[in-house]
Structure 1
Amino acid sequence: MKNSTPEERQAELQRAEENTKNWTRDRRVWDYAEMCKLYTNTALRLILLKDLRRKGFFIANAPQDTDTEVIDQSSTSTPIKQVLPPTSGSTEEAGEGAAETSDSGSSDKANPTWQKPTILRMKMKKMGLYAKFPPETALLAQFKDYLKNTLLVTKCQQEVDNVSRILRYIQPTGKEVHLDFLTKSKEAMTFIRELNSVKMSPSTIINYIKSMIRFIEHLKLDLKLAKKDQAFHNNCQKYIDILKTLRKPVLKSLCTDTVRKRYDWFIGDKQTLHDCQRVLRVTMKDMLGIYGKLLERKHVDKKQKTLFRYYCEGILILKHFQRPGAVQGMTTSEWFNKRLHHGRVCVGVREHKTATMQIATFALTKEEASFLDHYYLEIRSGYLKDGVDDRDKFFLSISGRPVSSATNDLRRLHEHYKLPNIRSQVVRRVAGTEANENFSEEQKSAVAHYMAHSTEVAKTHYRMRTMEGVVATANLFSCLERSTSDESGNEGTSHRRKRARETADEDVKDFSTFLECFPVGVTGQPPTKKQRTDAGFLPGRVFYDKWRVAQYNQRAEYLLSQYSRHPPTVHKVAKIIGKEGWKGNHPRPEDIVAKWKPAKRVQMESDAGIISSVTKQSWLGLAIKDFGGSKGQGVVSTKAFPKGSIICDYHGKVITAVEGMKLMESMKDEMGYLFFFKAGGRDLCIDAQTFPCECHPSVETMGRKINHSSKNWNLKPLHCLINFPEGARDVILFQAMKDISIRKELCFDYGVNRKSFRGGGLNLEWLDN
């Protein structure tokens, strides 16, 4: 009222004073009977009664129970935001306001445990589920100390808060937690039911139950409490059993929810790796501009610095499939310790949320490493502030504190460029799916090696991580990205639409049908556009690219199979590639050297697939054919086998060489099925003459039917000591020494004079292990 007259100001002052008197007279008096009508929840009503008394309100007809008295009268001196009592039509607002003030300062942002109100939290406050005991409560303080110092849970405040809310719901009043809550299982059931009614996710409800179970287990370990009451231990165990019973339907609901999400993903539109990494391509031009400014030490504004940081995080999440926890946990020390290996910059991260005994690893290209290095030198250094602990983290926010959510940063990057958000979980799932469709079993293990950080997965696929493996897998992903993004990066809208139509039409024919028409081989060439069209396929590159990826994988496996005992050199691998006449679509010699692993035969000896095939005699892709005449029966392929494949085994009873020679002498001119070999200084023989064998009385084993060829043999016998569940056993495996096409006869060199013996499998020239 700066421009008002003195009379107008005086009139406004009198009106304000009158309003203040009316509010004091009408609004500072509550009727407890009216409160009972408004709030049927006893716990919430008592909390509201306590807070109104603390703020100086008069409550008419209130009970004089000492439990409802104010806990700490000194708290009235603390300035707390006033909550207006409701009128008859504002029940919801009063409930929210009263619940908010009941949380012992939860609305104070200075409190480190303060959280921004959400719809879910407001519902919890309205129903009296969000109130907590004071942090200094003895049992809760002991529980927090137990989590930090005994269980080494550094971030345990959320777990303590979960327990505090459950206990406050069971015990609405009082300063300290009373142990009689162990006898109030009904209230605990009600709390869990109420959490479900506010639409809390099953996983969060399970966290509440898990926290409470851990709290009671902590109480069981307290010897002082156990000595006071002999039945205390039994009461704790009964309460834990009740909580576990309550957890079962929640777990079932969680499983249902998970299955629903997986079903939605299964029937939904599938994204490709190219789609997931779109934001990196769209932002590249802007990021190169910022990168140039950083190189020239020109001014870069705050917004551009933030976007550049988002982009660097996106490289690790979208391009190298790292979890957000690994990005947030990366430190400057780990960046200093990066290593250049075979053209890639290898980085390891020790601390991340999924870590137990494993590290997160990734291999950056030199360009990507340069982006991160300039972020560290030019941007991160400007974020550092005196008095703010950066905890040595690599990625910092503008405030100088470590980035708390790489997921949110990635979302903001997508929002800035108006693109659909892609989360870490999505891109990792897509990468795993495409790897599963295009990679071999060994390469799938390498993918799990690269993307998985948990100990459980690590035990399945690997033990220790090496830079060679990380670099090889990063190069493998680069190959997959090139194949999925070919002809899509610079093509126009009309071309993209045409390609999309071709993809949809081409999917009508399955890729397996394509492989039947054009088998993948180490020495083959990809089908031309005319060949694909003549076979009834559209000229699109979808199956063409998959074919090339499959051949690339087979060629990598073949090159590695040439060096089972000694590591290869770049020169030797290049010589084999030149000898095979491969002009393209093959691994670099450096990649094979980096990927090589010793003792490949040892891997065969423990391979679950080989063990199963030998045990069940279920070798796929083989059939017995009668060639007629003196040749008789033989084995032909019913599918294509790439070079280095294990075809089948020479199955029979393993006896000594002496016993085999006696058996051979008794056969005279009959057809013989004996295989002599040496293993570990032992002279042994496989007796396939006694047919059927004891272990497979109704199965015709394939190995004994393979014919001899001294010139055109395509198989080579390989001795292995297979680790069966019942113990190790000598086995002769047949390995393909060249690409074998469909309907091709399988042969190996018996190494015997055919004038004296007829039939398959007699090998008098010892196979020396």
Structure 2
Amino acid sequence: MASESDNQKSDRRIVHCLLCEKPQEMLTTHLSRVCMKKSTPKERLEEAKRAKESTKVWTREARNWDYKEMVKRYPHRPSRLALLEELRQRKFFVANAPNQADLEPEETSTSTAAVPTSGVSSQAASGVLVAEDSSSEGSTTDPSDRTWQRDQAQPSTSVRVKMMNKGLYEKFPAEEPMLTDFKGYLINTLQVPNCQQEVDNVSRMLRYIQPSGDEVRLDFLLKSTETKDYLTQLRLADMGPATILNYIKNMIRFVTYLKTHLNLGAADADFYRKCQAYIDLLTFLRKPVAKWNSNVTCKTRYLRFLEGEKRLQECQAVLRKAKKDMLFVYGRLLEGDHVASDEKTIFRYYCEAILILGHFQRPGVVEGITTAEWDERKKSVGKVRVAVSEHKTATMQIAVFDLTMEEAAMLDAYYTWIRPYCIRPDVDHGNRLFVSSSGTKIRSATNDLSRLHTHYKLPNIKSQQIRRTVKTDVAANFSDEQKGSVAHYMAHSTAVANQHYRMMTLDSVVATANLLSSLTRSSSDDSGEEGAQAKKRRRVEEAGSPTPDFDDFLQAFPVGITGHPPNKTQRAKAGFPTDRVFYDKWRALQYSKREKHLLSKCSRYAPTASKVAKIIETEGWTANHPRPEDIMAKWRPLSRAQVQSDPAIIRGVTSQKWTGLAVKDFGEQKGVVATKAFRKGSILCDLHGKVITGAEGREMAERQGELGHLFFFKHGSEEVCIDAETFPCECHPSLESTGRWITNSKKKFNVQPRHCIVKLQEGDRHVLLFQATKDILKDEKIRFNHSIKKRSFRGEEVELEWLDV
């Protein structure tokens, strides 16, 4: 019995009391006698359960540490190694920890620059790719820092190993004053938030040139040999030309910063000359690297040309193959059944693939979408629209995509039932929608996509491949307007998209060759008997197999904003093919014409959905027309050339009947208020009055003794004045001009004058139009800033309303 009692005692689990934070063999007895003497048995039982659950969580999670996470949290190497040794002595499990052989040479090193070691293991040296959450120990910057960014060209691990072996990866300490100031200059002056990689590139290059010391010395400006040698060593380390160009560009920006933003000329009179000479050296060294980069780019495009672009169906094969499995997981999530952790991870990969492969978005969109942006998604006509503001592109566009209801349900299932189980209270996830199993925001959606393809044993498809397929294959036959829409959907600038549309493909080569062949044949010598026979043969061929083009189709069936496209019977009767090629082009042209018609009806100010819907109803369009939401999104303020000939503007200037405005008496003076809302860029009214010369306006001011409603402005070298003082005006003796009552405000103005030369029936006329500088609400008072400058009036300096427009 004694031995059995001893065995039971030895098998007891040690549970820590969460109140006194001490280990206890009999927790319930301890609570009843010490920490919870005055509590009820039920309360003590709840506390015991809480303590046991805490012990389970600690055993399952807190006892396991990851050395890579320690690198990010504890950049000071000696402290981190001491913590590692302490954890090992206390029997904690530390994954990815360096072995003793790796630690010894680094412990004896006196360099203050952090050198990556944990990121380069035996697997890395053998070429194995780094996992999703891997990080370089050489980076002492927390990825949550807004200045952090990945390596611009993402060099392979073998390149990084070669750089370390050659001493190219060492850096100055992160707190080095000159580099810290340079980082602040990039963030605050140049507005480059993701600048950490640029600072690291400069730090590595300076460390190679100055291998000793903890501070940057300016004598590197004279070390041209070391600079050339560093760039040469980068090339010998198998670094690509694009990344070497980044190093040169970053260094030029750093020297430019020293030259223009640091007051160092007093210490060295030749400092500016040295800076310029060093910049000239880097510019000279950049030329052969740029040529090398062009050769590499051409070779890559050549190989891509030979291989040919993948079809869209090939790029989206993993979505079709995984769909059945993911719907099964989705059903179990809805029913509350158990789903394994690896299935949850694959489900997350599938949701990311929906955005990248299904909607052609960049990986940065997947990595940047937040929970708030997902919560603010909008539903319309069977679609769910999501907008992402931060997507790591060089464009100023937001990423917007429309999900089907099924796709949105899949993403919402991940958000509702999978993501909460990945969140950790002590891990910062940045409120990102997609988080890893460890609770951090995902580091690389590209790697996740690769793992999904590997899981289903399919060739990996990258986001660049499918986006290139869309731009060069799918959108090749689109109109310019449709290409622009595709570019916007993929968060591209139109110029970049057009560049890809012009990329050479096999189909485009064949089409161009046929075109040139036809030109060559038509320009050949048709004289003589052979020429006559060739002409006769071509006439027979043309008569036997006519090939009408789309221009003939448009002549037979003109496109207008009214009418319906010709049906199959009508096309066949007119001698055209019965397929949908010409039919679809006809509908696209009509759609474009109807879109322009709707926008022309709303030229003066932004349209509302009800107004556009009313126009569509009045026209009697039931199909093939833009939605009111699309017209509202595409509306842009009129340009100066459009304003000068716009019928609505001409009608308003001529009749002086501007809708949406009313003159109101405010007691001391009259003012103008908006009777409807106006969006930014809308034209409210004009400043109406007789147009006279500047000299005539000053004479009138002299006679009156005050300026009143005289508004002066310049048109080129000509000085012009609008006399809004004379009331009523000659052209509208029975009307009160609205614009002359708009009051002045230097701080609270919401409109600004815009000079145009409007083409009226009686001839061209100078007009000042008031354009909204921001959104104006209903019943808001209209104000504009007179831009007052001092001019001579009655021999004194007085304030004259002078508009330079």
TM-score interval w.r.t. the shorter chain? 0.5 to 0.7
**Which whole-Å deviations, capped at 9, do the CAs of 1:710-752 have from their partners, x for residues lacking one?**
xxxxxxxxxxxxxxxxxxxxxxxxxxxxxxxxxxxxxxxxxxx
Q: Distance in 2 between matches of 1:76 and 1:329?
A: 34
**Which whole-Å deviations, capped at 9, do the CAs of 1:633-689 have from their partners, x for residues lacking one?**
xxxxxxxxxxxxxxxxxxxxxxxxxxxxxxxxxxxxxxxxxxxxxx954279xxxxx
Describe the shift of the 1:548–1:211 C-alpha distance in structure 2 as closer, same or farther (beyond 3 A): same
Q: Distance in 2 between matches of 1:101 and 1:165?
A: 13
Specify the alignment match of 1:237 in structure 2: 276
Specify the alignment match of 1:122 in structure 2: 161
Specify the alignment match of 2:717 in structure 1: none
Normalised TM-score (structure 1): 0.53
Specify the alignment match of 1:185 in structure 2: 224
Question: Residues 336-355 of structure 1: matches in 2 within 5 Å?
Answer: 336-355=375-394
Specify the alignment match of 1:432 in structure 2: 471
Specify the alignment match of 1:25 in structure 2: none
Q: CA deviation at 1:250?
A: 1.3
What secondary structure sits across from 2:412 in the alignment? helix
What secondary structure sits across from 2:266 in the alignment? helix
Q: CA deviation at 1:180?
A: 1.3
Q: CA deviation at 1:75?
A: 13
Specify the alignment match of 1:324 in structure 2: 363
**Which whole-Å deviations, capped at 9, do the CAs of 1:22-63 have from their partners, x for residues lacking one?**
xxxxxxxxxxxxxxxxxxxxxxxxxxxxxxxxxxxxxxxxxx
Specify the alignment match of 1:274 in structure 2: 313
Q: 1:106 is matched with which residue: 116, 119, 122? A: 116
Describe the shift of the 1:227–1:82 C-alpha distance in structure 2 as closer, same or farther (beyond 3 A): farther
Specify the alignment match of 1:556 in structure 2: 591
Specify the alignment match of 2:601 in structure 1: 565
What one-letter code is carried by the residue in structure 1 that aligns with 2:307?
A: G
What one-letter code is carried by the residue in structure 1 that aligns with 2:326?
A: M
Question: Does the 8 Å contact 2:367/2:441 carry over to 1?
Answer: yes
What one-letter code is carried by the residue in structure 2 that aligns with 1:554?
A: L
Question: Does the 8 Å contact 1:518/1:527 carry over to 2?
Answer: no
Question: Does the 8 Å contact 1:276/1:422 carry over to 2?
Answer: yes
Describe the shift of the 1:247–1:526 C-alpha distance in structure 2 as closer, same or farther (beyond 3 A): farther
Q: 2:299 is matched with which residue: 260, 267, 273? A: 260
Question: Does the 8 Å contact 1:357/1:455 carry over to 2?
Answer: no
Normalised TM-score (structure 2): 0.51
Specify the alignment match of 2:290 in structure 1: 251
Q: CA deviation at 1:102?
A: 9.7
Question: Does the 8 Å contact 2:591/2:626 carry over to 1?
Answer: no
What secondary structure sits across from 1:363 in the alignment? strand
Q: Distance in 2 between matches of 1:447 and 1:133?
A: 45
Question: Does the 8 Å contact 1:324/1:406 carry over to 2?
Answer: yes
Specify the alignment match of 1:392 in structure 2: 431
Cα RMSD for the two superposed structures? 4.8
2:384 corresponds to 1:358:
no
Question: Does the 8 Å contact 1:290/1:300 carry over to 2?
Answer: yes
Specify the alignment match of 2:236 in structure 1: 197
Describe the shift of the 1:279–1:99 C-alpha distance in structure 2 as closer, same or farther (beyond 3 A): farther
Describe the shift of the 1:546–1:375 C-alpha distance in structure 2 as closer, same or farther (beyond 3 A): farther
Specify the alignment match of 2:210 in structure 1: 171
What secondary structure sits across from 2:273 in the alignment? helix
What secondary structure sits across from 2:401 in the alignment? strand
Q: Distance in 2 between matches of 1:345 and 1:129?
A: 49
**Which whole-Å deviations, capped at 9, do the CAs of 1:257-282 have from their partners, x for residues lacking one?**
22222233333323222322222111
Question: Residues 716-735 of structure 1: matches in 2 within 5 Å?
Answer: none
Specify the alignment match of 1:702 in structure 2: none
State the percentage of identical aligned residues: 42
Q: Distance in 2 between matches of 1:335 and 1:266?
A: 39
Describe the shift of the 1:97–1:420 C-alpha distance in structure 2 as closer, same or farther (beyond 3 A): farther
What one-letter code is carried by the residue in structure 2 that aligns with 1:444?
A: K
Question: Does the 8 Å contact 1:290/1:304 carry over to 2?
Answer: yes
What secondary structure sits across from 1:340 in the alignment? strand
Gaps of 5+ in 2: 1-76, 86-97, 120-135, 141-150, 500-509, 516-545, 603-610, 643-757, 764-805
What one-letter code is carried by the residue in structure 2 that aligns with 1:550?
A: K
Describe the shift of the 1:140–1:516 C-alpha distance in structure 2 as closer, same or farther (beyond 3 A): closer
Question: Does the 8 Å contact 1:355/1:455 carry over to 2?
Answer: no
Q: Distance in 2 between matches of 1:598 and 1:157?
A: 37
Specify the alignment match of 1:451 in structure 2: 490
What one-letter code is carried by the residue in structure 2 that aligns with 1:553?
A: A
What secondary structure sits across from 1:569 in the alignment? helix
Question: Does the 8 Å contact 1:407/1:424 carry over to 2?
Answer: yes
Q: CA deviation at 1:178?
A: 2.5
Q: CA deviation at 1:82?
A: 6.4
Describe the shift of the 1:509–1:315 C-alpha distance in structure 2 as closer, same or farther (beyond 3 A): farther
Specify the alignment match of 1:682 in structure 2: 761
Q: Distance in 1 between matches of 2:109 and 2:583?
A: 64
Q: Distance in 1 between matches of 2:81 and 2:262?
A: 38
Specify the alignment match of 1:417 in structure 2: 456
Q: CA deviation at 1:374?
A: 1.4
Q: Distance in 2 between matches of 1:117 and 1:554?
A: 49
What secondary structure sits across from 1:362 in the alignment? strand
Q: Distance in 2 between matches of 1:372 and 1:411?
A: 19
Q: Distance in 2 between matches of 1:149 and 1:593?
A: 38
What one-letter code is carried by the residue in structure 2 that aligns with 1:261?
A: T
Q: 1:140 is matched with which residue: 165, 179, 185? A: 179
What secondary structure sits across from 1:227 in the alignment? coil
What one-letter code is carried by the residue in structure 2 that aligns with 1:569?
A: A
Describe the shift of the 1:575–1:137 C-alpha distance in structure 2 as closer, same or farther (beyond 3 A): closer
Deviates more, 1:251-260 or 1:308-317: 251-260
What secondary structure sits across from 2:216 in the alignment? coil
Q: CA deviation at 1:555?
A: 4.3
What one-letter code is carried by the residue in structure 1 that aligns with 2:386?
A: V
What secondary structure sits across from 2:425 in the alignment? coil
**Which whole-Å deviations, capped at 9, do the CAs of 1:391-425 have from their partners, x for residues lacking one?**
11111111111111111111111111111222111
What secondary structure sits across from 1:285 in the alignment? helix
Q: Distance in 2 between matches of 1:225 and 1:204?
A: 30
Describe the shift of the 1:284–1:186 C-alpha distance in structure 2 as closer, same or farther (beyond 3 A): same
What secondary structure sits across from 1:401 in the alignment? coil
Specify the alignment match of 2:796 in structure 1: none
Q: CA deviation at 1:570?
A: 8.2
Describe the shift of the 1:277–1:531 C-alpha distance in structure 2 as closer, same or farther (beyond 3 A): farther
What secondary structure sits across from 1:404 in the alignment? coil
Aligned residues: 475
2:267 corresponds to 1:228:
yes
Describe the shift of the 1:571–1:375 C-alpha distance in structure 2 as closer, same or farther (beyond 3 A): farther
Q: CA deviation at 1:221?
A: 4.5
Question: Does the 8 Å contact 2:371/2:431 carry over to 1?
Answer: yes
What secondary structure sits across from 1:280 in the alignment? helix
Specify the alignment match of 1:729 in structure 2: none
Specify the alignment match of 2:339 in structure 1: 300
Question: Does the 8 Å contact 2:488/2:494 carry over to 1?
Answer: no
Describe the shift of the 1:571–1:76 C-alpha distance in structure 2 as closer, same or farther (beyond 3 A): closer
Describe the shift of the 1:514–1:382 C-alpha distance in structure 2 as closer, same or farther (beyond 3 A): farther
Q: 1:381 is matched with which residue: 420, 423, 426? A: 420
Question: Does the 8 Å contact 1:438/1:546 carry over to 2?
Answer: no
Gaps of 5+ in 1: 1-71, 85-93, 462-504, 538-542, 579-585, 607-678, 685-769
**Which whole-Å deviations, capped at 9, do the CAs of 1:207-247 have from their partners, x for residues lacking one?**
11122122222323454533322222221221112112111
Q: Distance in 2 between matches of 1:526 and 1:129?
A: 69
What one-letter code is carried by the residue in structure 2 that aligns with 1:107?
A: T
